[in-house]
Amino acid sequence: MGWKNIYRRRLRVFTVALVIYLDYKAVQRRARWVSRGKEDALWEKTHERNARRLLNLIIELEGLWVKMGQYLSTRADVLPEAYICLLKQLQDSLPPRPLWEVRQTIVEELGKSVDELFSSFFEQPLATASIAQVHRATLKNGEEVVVKVQHDGIKEIILEDLKNAKAIVDWIAWAEPQYDFSPMIDEWCKEAPKELDFNHEAENTRKVSRNLGCRSGNDGTSLDHSVDVLIPEVIQSSEKVLVLQYMDGIRLNDTQSLEAYGVDKQKLVEEITRAYAHQIYVDGFFNGDPHPGNFLVSKEPPHRPVLLDFGLTKSLSSSMKQALAKMFLACAEGNHVGLLSAFAEMGLRLRLDMPDQAMEVSTLFFRNSTPAKDALENVKSLNDQREKNMKIIQEKMNLNQKQVKRFNPVDAFPGDAIIFTRMLNLLRGLSSTMNVRIVYLDIMRPFAEAALLGNLHNAPIMGKSWICDSPIHSDVEEKLRQFIVRIGSDKILGLQVCAYKDGKVIIDTAAGVLGRYDPRPVQPDSLFPVFSVTKGITAGLIHWLVDKDKLKLDETVARIWPEFGANGKDLIKVHHVLNHSSGLHNAMGDVIKSNPFLLCDWDHSLRHIASCTPETEPGSQQLYHYLSFGWLCGGIIEHASGKSFKEVLEEAIVHPLNIEGELYVGIPPGVEPRLATLALDIDELQKFSAIQSRPEVPDSIQQSNVSEMASSVPALFNTLNMRRAVIPAANGHCSARALARYYAALAAGGSIPPPHSSLSKPPLGSHPHFPKFPSFKLKPKSRKCSIKAANIRGNLFGSRRDTNDYNLISNISIKDVSTDTNRHMFHNSNIHDAFMGSGDFTTMVLPNGKFGLGFRRFNSNGTENMKTFGHSGMGGSTGFCNVEHDFAIAVTLNKMSVGGVTRSIIQLVCSELNIPLPDEFSAQGEKGPDMQLNLQQS
């Protein structure tokens, strides 16, 4: 191109960019001093003036700038009307290149002259675009074709334009940090050169045509996932010439012809949208350049869209395709957990935890399109939302006005997602240009579901690959895995089983997938919601504080927690709470009915518990405290220790057992990618109604529609608010290996087992317990500021400063704890009697009750054993241990059912190890309150 031309183009680009920038900055200042009516006129003239400058520059330079102009001309949803009106000229055609240049390129590329190849060749091009121009022609065999010929020297121009565009974007990012489009231009620099090879475009055209079933008329999928579009057939190609089948169609900007032919524009754009949804979510291979110039409409009914120009295409990996589908469905359902998990899977990293704002911004990508006339209102709405989000960031990060302008909440943005969002924006612009409203969430949803459910259905569910590829620890684990494969996906969605025998791991198996819309395989470190299994964890904290002399089982709760003594609760003792005999079994029932999300408010729930009135005399009846148990114990724990529930959980259980990152009551930010998603076994839902009249079931459940309640549980507990809440009766998230290790320690009287099996990957305890987001580095003005920032960070992750002068565990490192097998969580030699409510603790429990002091007492063969205890959760998860056999087991699952899977697994393992089967898991034995909801009906 010559260095003179290079520097001339560079000078023109930067001069115009600077003039436009300074013009807008000047008008921005002037607008502050004029009335509202004059301000609108002032901005309108400014937009028209600068749009004209931009158009003149693009026409002068051509090359890549034409593409940019075409893109901007489609953004009628967000750009001022002046830009749309002027830049839409670029969609029609640019001045053509001379015919001799076209003929010469054809000879050089195809080895024959125009006259040798074609019986006729139209000298006037159909269209001239940024990279090539298209001529109509007829082959010697009479077939009508179009010939796409690349402009001579365009490659050098495009590459130079990319450098200039990159420099401008970097400059804007420096001058206005909140408008940093560097990731977008970087991805464009990587993808744009591919458009310069027409062999590449030819193969892309063939591939998209095959994927969409354009030759066969269908794509082999259900009607919900089929599309009805046309794509021209490739006849011949070289690097700079492409010969395609001619298709007679109407341009999208030819409004008169569209009306004359009776084209339904709404239906047309919907079909285009479906075609792109298919490309993204089903095929993982899509055209990233859907501007109006790349479409025609067939003149024959049903007026199908014709898709053109596949130079800029993007291929998605299976994991990226799934992540994009998961992001879409998360936005459609308002699923914050799914959204944050999708971000992590696609490599999008944020610098701070703002799930609500992340959902708002992501949902913008899939919002309903708006006609061009609503562009101004749309822009104002987007700006208002952006300012609101930046204000929230400023408050969270404690930034001043200057700092917040330079803060970018996105730490990393993947290139695949950039082309994806560009494509969505172009589609939105297309619908705005056509003045139609498109409901993207409805149109694209079947394809996103197909991307995830298709992977689930096509997975080798009946083979060993359905089970996590980890070494087998024992013969019983080998038999268990064979059994799990036989059950298959009819009863199992995702599952973990871990068991300890004599302090050693004998089973550590993970199988299935993380969720109905999450086909990623379950791993040993995946986190499952386990509902009332959490009660066994919470009870362990009470016993741990008693062991540390910070609490006594026979003291009144009101002495520890003064507010609790109101309304006749002054006689309730700690052991009444643990034994489910405090009389407060329905204390949270009215909250569930009025607003379940109030359960997420820890302080509100504690105040509510403290103000309740007992329904029965303390110690008179054992009635299952299905939800109130958590806040009763939680209030006791916090008031006795002076620390938060989470802090005591870490000090008492997580750190000593070295299970960091795999046992939570209320998840912290950052673990979403490891979360299993709850689903319900619909086929067994009707069996829930059988439990409604049983006396063991709380009154508030007996009076409700059990089937309706069970159906709502997964949706409620899949929400981010519920998962992050501290609900010590029902909100534990853990892996089976962490839960089994806990019960292995309890079975041994609190003696910490040897390190977990090295065969289990990643190693247990390798996750940080409070994942941190990348920090935005600012120099603190003083030590005082630094302390304040540290306190803010602490509040972000739910911790609080400890003002006590004692430490609940010894000052030893995590490594020391995990490797020293002589260390104990408890020092009471009668701790098992305390758990079970036996021996010296018999007077603290009701005779023949299902519960000891916080743990379910499991009988065997219908007789009292007093050697087996634990706790199950609604839906099937469980954890328990047998002291006599030094055995502990945990089962976690995400497909909530009536417990058949869990029962079968426990039966198999106990039979193989010759361990007495707890009645809880036998076919005929008496079930505990939680397993009432899991009872397998014959």
Catalytic positions, written as ranges = 289
The pairing of beta strand 895-896 with beta strand 679-680 = parallel
The answer to whether 239 and 109 are in contact (CB under 8 A) is yes
The answer to whether 584 and 692 are in contact (CB under 8 A) is no
Strand-pairing partners, residue 474, are: none
Q: Which residues contact 549 (CB under 8 A, 6 or more apart)?
A: none
> What's the sign of the alpha-carbon dihedral 921, 926, 932, 936?
positive
Q: Taking the CA atoms of the chain, what radius of gyration do you get in angstroms?
A: 33
For 235-292, give the DSSP string: EEE-SSEEEEE---EEETT-HHHHHHTT--HHHHHHHHHHHHHIIIIIISEEES---G
- What is the distance between the terminal CA atoms of the chain, rounded to a whole angstrom? 82
Question: What is the 8-class DSSP label of residue 824?
Answer: B
As a 3-state breakdown, the chain gives helix, strand, coil percent values, each rounded to 5, of 50, 15, 35
- Cα separation, 289 vs 292, whole angstroms: 9
> What's the sign of the alpha-carbon dihedral 379, 383, 389, 393?
positive
Question: What is the 8-class DSSP label of residue 620?
Answer: T
Q: Which residues contact 854 (CB under 8 A, 6 or more apart)?
A: 535, 536, 538, 539, 540, 542, 543, 578, 579, 633, 835
The answer to whether 275 and 305 are in contact (CB under 8 A) is yes
- Closest alpha carbon to 342 in 519, 180, 523, 527: 519
Q: How many residues in total does the chain contain?
A: 938
Q: What 3-state class would DSSP assign to 34?
A: coil
How many Cβ atoms sit within 10 Å of the Cβ of residue 64?
A: 23
- Cα separation, 401 vs 406, whole angstroms: 9
User: Tokens for 418?
Assistant: 């950039």
How many Cβ atoms sit within 10 Å of the Cβ of residue 121?
A: 18
